[in-house]
Structure 1
Amino acid sequence: MPRSVALLVNPSAGGGRALRALPAVEAELTRLGLEHRTTRTTSLVHAQALAREADDAGRVVATLSGDGLIGAVAGALRGRPAALMAILPGGRGNDFARANGIPCDAVAACGVLVTGVPRALDVGDVDGRTFVGIASLGFDSEANRIANEAPSWMGPMVYAYAALRALARWRPATFDVAVGHDHRTFRGWTVAAANSRAYGGGMLLAPDARLDDGRLDVVLVAPRSRRDFVRSLPRVFKGTHVELDSVTVLRGPEVRIAADRPFTVYADGDPIGELPVTVRAVPGAIHVLLPA
């Protein structure tokens, strides 16, 4: 059982979902006999400072949030061999929790702090910035921007809404992608570097990606038309879109990406870089309590 827990809460996560769950989470931690200290974060930088302080004090760092705060805390604890994280889902998508078998109910997830086992997981790196899920760009850049500006009451539906809104103004781009000696230039929609399987509230963009293999699954998406894109969208939730001729998956520890026009790279729901970028996998960079 953890010695003590530093609970970091993003008050705005999931449209306030994390904050609404907080009283029940604190009550459950007390019931489980876990000494804990709660802090509401004011920014990702603030959260990173709190995470380092908690680790220095020998506390397990638990996040009650969405994937954005998880990625920020992972960046703060990355490379600290004694640091230990725990995940209490409190966002709209909670894809990192889902990929690791953590209950999507925050109160139920508290039990993992007692019965879970530490596991070394990879993180992704975009020119020095850390993410835990999927870094993507192109069509995804516009869809992520729209999702972040959408009203909080939409919940997980926001990702489908954002994709359909982005569709109206999208025009394909030419991407230059290099994974090891495999160098490709193609006209398409999206390039994604996946450390984990899912994003966007359960979209299995990279269904075979693993969090402990030291590699990225690089997904290249090039539908022939808007109609083809719309038809393929439901398949992403099952991961069967990778069987289509319009989708290519490459694998390697590093990918270099450029395009014929500027794009913001998003990861874990937040902007993380601007093209051109180098994305790489960092093996075993964090230790996370996961269900036994």
Structure 2
Amino acid sequence: MTGPQGRSFTAVVNPISGGGHGFEHWQPVAERLLAAGATVRAIPTQSREHAVTVARQAAERGDVVVAVGGDGMVRDVADGVVRGEGTMGMVPAGRGNDLAWRLGLPEDPAGLARLLLEGEPRAFDVLDVNGVIAPGNVYIGIDSLATQIINANRRLPALLVYRLAPVRAILRWRAAGYTLDVDGERREVRAHTVVVANSGAYGHGLRIVPPAEPDDGRLDVMVVGDGPRHQVVSFMGEAKKGTHTARPEVTLLTGTSVTVDADRPVPVCADGDEVATLPARITLLPGALKLLA
């Protein structure tokens, strides 16, 4: 990557993000970059593996690699950029866009273009989840079951499906027995969900793990213990305000490496998609992602 006025950009675009409007989100930003004299190219993704590969190749060329899509696209581009030791930008174009919201990115094309052209890279932590790089959060339990439901209902409005999916997940869920190892300290718990947080934000604008900061060099682990399922509904209501962590069934832990297993198969999701199977080993890679934010 050259100086701010000479940056070159490769946009990795999810063409189905936001109901198929990924390129519509990118075009006004690209026009402003071109008007400023930048070199700009755009590549539509064909698969997760393709997104990671093209992001890595662009990073190794020295381009700023721009993730155009939702949190899943951000995850895949971050995976390639970390491996290519490059610099990343974001143009939110998905349903959730929780990392962009958490970092306070501009919402208008002019603001996004200005950040891409003039912003200085900041070093953010990322998670390694059984070999998959994720900048946001890993969740295993009701939340990951809800993610499966969300991804199976892509035609519904975002806010609606993000609020209905947890309710449907609760109706199908029963608590699991988890085994956790946090920095070598082992514990067994019966719980509804385990979250290993870097950004702490997901679920369309919820701060699920309020203490989490994406550049503090630590993981924040939240365990929501067993209890009546109707309490999970009130838990979700409190999560909008961030007061849920005071509930007696909630435990907060910190560490740099976490291994999670359970007494039955439970989806392992990170940043909007199922990415692994149990047991899941989640390791913090401090400062591994250079991001214009």
TM range (shorter): over 0.9
CA contact (8 A) 2:16 2:22 kept: yes
Equivalent residue number for residue 8 of structure 2: 4
Aligned CA distance change for structure 1 residues 168 and 131 (closer, same or farther; 3 Å): same
1:145 is the counterpart of 2:148: yes
* Unpaired segments ≥5 residues, structure 1: none
1:60 is the counterpart of 2:34: no
1:26 is the counterpart of 2:30: yes
Q: 2:48 aligns with which of 14, 30, 44?
A: 44
Counterpart residue identity of residue 239, structure 1: G
1:191 is the counterpart of 2:194: yes
What is the correspondence of 1:229-268 to structure 2 with a 5 Å cutoff? 229-268=232-271
Counterpart residue identity of residue 125, structure 2: D
Query: How high is the TM-score relative to the length of structure 1?
Result: 0.93
Spell out, residue by residue over 1:101-127, the C-alpha distance to the aligned partner (whole angstroms, 9 max, x if none): 212445532221123111111110111
Counterpart residue identity of residue 230, structure 1: V
Aligned CA distance change for structure 1 residues 6 and 260 (closer, same or farther; 3 Å): same
Aligned CA distance change for structure 1 residues 49 and 80 (closer, same or farther; 3 Å): closer
Distance 1:208 1:247 in 2: 13
CA contact (8 A) 2:127 2:284 kept: yes
Secondary structure, counterpart of 1:140 in structure 2: helix
Equivalent residue number for residue 95 of structure 2: 92
Equivalent residue number for residue 119 of structure 1: 122
Secondary structure, counterpart of 1:287 in structure 2: strand
Spell out, residue by residue over 1:153-207, the C-alpha distance to the aligned partner (whole angstroms, 9 max, x if none): 4123322111011111111111111212432211110001111120111111111
Query: How high is the TM-score relative to the length of structure 2?
Result: 0.93
Distance 2:184 2:39 in 1: 51
CA contact (8 A) 1:173 1:260 kept: yes
Distance 1:179 1:173 in 2: 18
Secondary structure, counterpart of 2:65 in structure 1: strand
Counterpart residue identity of residue 65, structure 2: V
CA RMSD, Structure 1 to Structure 2 (Å): 1.7
Spell out, residue by residue over 1:122-155, the C-alpha distance to the aligned partner (whole angstroms, 9 max, x if none): 1101111111111111112211110000133412
CA contact (8 A) 1:15 1:153 kept: no
Secondary structure, counterpart of 1:78 in structure 2: helix
Distance 2:57 2:244 in 1: 43
Farther-moved stretch of structure 1 (267-276 vs 50-59): 50-59
Farther-moved stretch of structure 1 (21-30 vs 140-149): 21-30
CA contact (8 A) 2:60 2:84 kept: no
Distance 1:226 1:59 in 2: 48
Equivalent residue number for residue 179 of structure 1: 182
Secondary structure, counterpart of 2:207 in structure 1: coil
CA contact (8 A) 1:75 1:130 kept: yes
CA contact (8 A) 1:65 1:89 kept: yes
Aligned CA distance change for structure 1 residues 160 and 236 (closer, same or farther; 3 Å): same
Secondary structure, counterpart of 1:168 in structure 2: helix
Equivalent residue number for residue 229 of structure 2: 226
